[in-house]
Amino acid sequence: SNHDLKKLDDAHHLHPFTDFKELSAQGGSRLITRGEGCWIEDDSGNRILDAMAGLWCVNVGYGRKELAEAGYRQMLDLSFYNTFFKTTTGPAALLSAKLAEITPAGFNKVFFANSGSEANDTIVRMVRHYWNLKGKPSKKTFISRTHGYHGTTMASTSLGGMSVMHGQGDLPLPGFVHVMPPYPFDLANGMEPEAFGRLAARMVEEKILELGAENVAAFIGEPIQGAGGVIIPPDSYWPEINRICREHDILLIADEVICGFGRLGHWFGSQRFGIEADFMTLAKGITSGYVPLSAVMVGDRVAETLIEEGGEFYHGFTYSGHPVACAVALANIAVIESENLVERTRTDIGPYLRAKLEEALDGHPIVGEIRSEGLIGAIEIVKDRKTRERFPGGGKVGLMARDHCFRNNVILRGIRDSLVFSPPLTLSHGEADEIARLAKLSLDQTARDLGVL
Ligand code: PLP
């Protein structure tokens, strides 16, 4: 029974990003049993509107037969074969070509892994290998941003800028440094956004000058920082980063794990912001989360050096280019194309959801800002709308609001004092109305708890 399942889970399952003791004390986990479209269902039969698309990944919605059938057919044809030692499979070959087709010009080579973390680890190795081949072995250090999230392996946690994660495991590793994120809401201090974007980029340049460009290997950033709180940079930021990386001979890595596959209303966030990257990290939306798969897109200039001069690259995962995952990714991309989900996100449902949230939360006493791009966004919670003063508690209010959402059967995530959303790209207008209604209800309840309403 579902009751037994929950007991077994509580007894044996160590959950990621979870306080094990606290979870057990509150009686274990909520059991999710089904998913269809933008909805999931729990063991009590509650239908829950998933405005987070799982972990920012279920871009085509739950329960798509096209994806299930592609996986099923591939398992019967060839359930597994590796891509090591000069072998390949049909799905791996076709997906490589498809990714080269849909990613920006200059990306023609792909290396497969299973998760965003592994893909970023792969990039760390490739970058250092590249600079060694170029006769610049001192170029070792990676620069990234506070609040950046790049995964949970030792190297990808080090790339990330989350101090709570660094505490466990004695991280970051040497050779990983962090700079200020382009977060206008919290950091601009009344500065005009475009000027603030240039300032945040200048912090990257100053860090390069401080370290010496001859010691800096690469800069990594998410086009929009997702897990750090949906931080949308001013338009001036990325063009400046392009210039800085070019001028100082530093490789640029766009971590597209959340922003890729239509989330921002463009195939990739790099296209929205004009990022001229040497690497792109892809995961999540590549299969809409149906099976694990990630990919490193390697830009032409790096690929040429690795191919021509690199010799054997001693790196790979048993499941690099897994045929079932690649078959599902191809079916997923076919759905995104045939249902026009990228354009629909940019021109229709993205702006519609934003307008509905603005309408529902207009003048709300604890809402300081609503921002979004395509179908990713954040609602900032403040004590004072004019001064942007926060409530005491260092992020507790975001969790209070999230818990109200959860009880109201809509999933939004609490990140510090904000509620963030990233629903499936198949979201209907009616479902967008419902997200806005339930977000308002939950924020009203939060405001009442805080004695503001
Ligand atoms: N990069 C970004 C931008 C992410 O958001 C994530 C996961 O949320 C990762 C990397 C890590 O991906 P994974 O959890 O698949 O290892």
Of 377, 365, 370, give the one whose Cα is nearest residue 449: 365
Residue 330 CA to residue 332 CA, distance in Å, equals 5
ipTM value greater than 0.85:
yes
pLDDT for residue 310 is more than 90: yes
- Residue at 18 is within a domain: no
Pair 248, 373 in one domain: no
Pair 311, 351 in one domain: no
Pair 323, 403 in one domain: no
Instruction: CATH number of the domain at 255, please.
Output: 3.40.640.10
Q: How many domains does the chain have?
A: 2
Residue 355 CA to residue 433 CA, distance in Å, equals 10
- Residue at 10 is within a domain: no
- Residue at 259 is within a domain: yes
The total of other beta-carbon atoms located within 10 Å of residue 51's CB is 27
Pair 46, 82 in one domain: no
When pLDDT is cut at 50, 70 and 90, the band that residue 394 belongs to is confident
Q: Is 283 in the pocket of ligand 1 (CB under 6 A)?
A: yes
Pair 151, 173 in one domain: yes
SS3 297: strand
Pair 312, 425 in one domain: no
Helices 65-77 and 323-338, interaxial angle, to 10°?
Answer: 150
Taking the model in full, what pTM does it have? 0.98
**Cα-to-centroid distance, 284 and ligand 1 (Å):** 8
C-alpha dihedral sign at 432, 433, 438, 444: positive
When pLDDT is cut at 50, 70 and 90, the band that residue 83 belongs to is very high
Q: Is 346 in the pocket of ligand 1 (CB under 6 A)?
A: no
pLDDT for residue 276 is more than 90: yes
Which of residues 286, 303, 338 is at a domain's end? 338
Instruction: CATH number of the domain at 381, please.
Output: 3.90.1150.10
- Report percent pLDDT > 90 for the chain: 97
Residue pLDDT, tens place only, 168-194: 999 999 999 999 999 999 888 889 999
Could you tell me the residue range of the domain that residue 327 belongs to? 66-338
**Cα-to-centroid distance, 128 and ligand 1 (Å):** 21
**Cα-to-centroid distance, 125 and ligand 1 (Å):** 18
Q: Is 115 in the pocket of ligand 1 (CB under 6 A)?
A: yes
Pair 287, 370 in one domain: no
Q: Is 417 in the pocket of ligand 1 (CB under 6 A)?
A: no
Pair 329, 346 in one domain: no
- Residue at 392 is within a domain: yes
SS3 406: helix
Beta pairing partners, 6: none
152 contacts: CB under 8 Å, gap ≥ 6:
16, 117, 165
Pair 102, 41 in one domain: no
- Residue at 36 is within a domain: yes
Which of residues 338, 363, 392 is at a domain's end? 338
- Residue at 349 is within a domain: yes
Pair 84, 131 in one domain: yes
Which of residues 281, 316, 338 is at a domain's end? 338
Residue 255 CA to residue 270 CA, distance in Å, equals 9
Q: Is 413 in the pocket of ligand 1 (CB under 6 A)?
A: no
DSSP conformation letters of 434-449: HHHHHHHHHHHHHHHH
Pair 214, 179 in one domain: yes
The predicted pLDDT at position 440 comes to: 98
